[in-house]
Amino acid sequence: MTPDLFADSCAPWQEAVCEGAVVLRRYALAQDRSLLAAVDSVTAAAPFRHMLTPGGYRMSVAMTNCGPLGWVSDESGYRYDACDPVSGRPWPAMPTVFAELATAAATAAGFPDFMPDACLINRYEPGARLSLHQDRNERDFRQPIVSLSLGLPAVFLFGGLRRSEPARRIPLEHGDVVVWGGPARLRYHGVLALKEGAHPLLGRRRLNLTFRKAG
């Protein structure tokens, strides 16, 4: 789907990727400042950190979480945990603006009644990337994934159900939301290395908020 050339250039619009996957262009643009303020409140309690992969490698993307469950990676594996392993305390509560956005975006994409219990916040700086992977640590694959982009533009890789399948390159801008579920739920996805740039609100950074029903 292409946007109407005579429509408001800042108005949200939908772009179908495949069955079960859609990009909601500019969907969160009007809320960007309140979303960023909420990110600041989360990271004040649970700062960003570079987690280790099970193989012992330091991830280039800095991460933190909010909500009842948080995604954790270390040398013992990938998992969800109710507590921040750095502080030993529960993860910060998910801000209302996060939960409302995720639920509304999922509904707009055709997945009503989505209620996330985990939000993984990724911070990218130039050169940071995320290799192709599946989101498989959640219990119910009937629930979609909702992914919000803020800050510098990035190229989202959206592949098939096998790692070897070609991945489509999808440019993402500040305020875009990607939702995938149903037959697309277990597709491989990743992010190419972030390019240098300067965003008016985030400078040399990109933030990605990924909402999931993990428990």
Express each pLDDT in 44-78 by its tens digit: 999 999 999 999 999 999 999 999 999 999 999 99
Domains for the chain: give ranges and CATH numbers: 13-212 (2.60.120.590)
Q: Is 99 strand, coil or helix?
A: helix
pTM of the predicted protein model: 0.94
Express each pLDDT in 83-98 by its tens digit: 999 999 999 999 999 9
Count CA atoms within 13 Å of residue 66 on its CB side: 22
Q: Is residue 6's pLDDT more than 60?
A: no
